[in-house]
Amino acid sequence: MSSCLVRKKIIIIFARTMIENISGESHLQGRVEVICGSMFSGKTEELIRRLKRARIARQRVMIFKPQIDTRYSEMNVVSHDHNSIQSTPVNDTQTILKQSVNYDVVGIDEAQFFDRSLVDVCNKLAYSGIRVIVAGLDMDFKGVPFGPMPDLCAIADEVTKVHAICVRCGALAYASHRLVRNDSRVMLGEKAEYEPLCRECYRKAIEEDARNARSGDLFEGKSL
């Protein structure tokens, strides 16, 4: 095959891809997309990317986040890499439903902090023709499915699982391991409080935490 034909094929493939991308963003269809994974896996980064892409396509975009998430900003959705997009902090899912009228695309970050009524809200928005993009932790620090995330994954049209890198062995991370002793399920934190670990390193870390807890309890008992 001549180099001229190769170049023509490449141009045709590129043109088709661009047309598909443009038509995909401009064709409005109700759907639910879920982006899930451990901490530091790029969930918010991917959410911001999709929302900004929708805005480039001149779609009306609305973004929500839980009001309790004030780690980087009280108002904006901010990734760990400090990319950001303006958002509306809310306390309940009904506010999301009410304020999503007249929008084409709705983004929801840190979805695990909302209650399970978020599933019904996302379904209602999708059935009304809105594209809903949800990002959140799929499991808590104990490895238990977090809040509405498992149900959202079940009803979603598309689920994207993103992965951090295990900080101990370099494999794909499986879960978020908490580095501080705190049993509260909801605890906002960053690299000082959490680390992404693969399944095997997470298992070892949990066993080590249990041994340290027993040792600490024994030590505290002796000091009383």
Mean of pLDDT over the chain:
84
How many domains would you assign to the chain? Answer: 1
Which helix (H) or strand (E) covers residue 183, if one does?
none
Q: According to the model, what pLDDT value does residue 70 have? A: 60
- Could you tell me if residue 2 is inside a domain? no
CA nearest 134: which of 113, 111, 153, 151?
111
Mean pLDDT on 115-122:
97
Q: Tell me, what CATH number does 90's domain have?
A: 3.40.50.300
Strands 31-37 and 158-162: parallel
Banded model confidence at residue 184, pLDDT cuts 50, 70, 90: confident
Q: Give residue 157's domain range.
A: 27-223
Is residue 33 over pLDDT 80? yes
- Could you tell me if residue 12 is inside a domain? no
Q: What is the pTM of this model?
A: 0.78
Residues 194-208 have pLDDT tens digits of 999 999 999 999 999
Strands 84-86 and 76-78: antiparallel
Is residue 7 over pLDDT 90? no
- Could you tell me if residue 177 is inside a domain? yes
Catalytic site residue from 33, 46, 110, 195: 110
Q: Is residue 74 among the annotated active site residues?
A: no
- Could you tell me if residue 193 is inside a domain? yes
Q: According to the model, what pLDDT value does residue 215 have? A: 79
Residues 46-78 have pLDDT tens digits of 999 999 999 999 999 999 999 887 655 555 565
Greater pLDDT, 36 or 6: 36
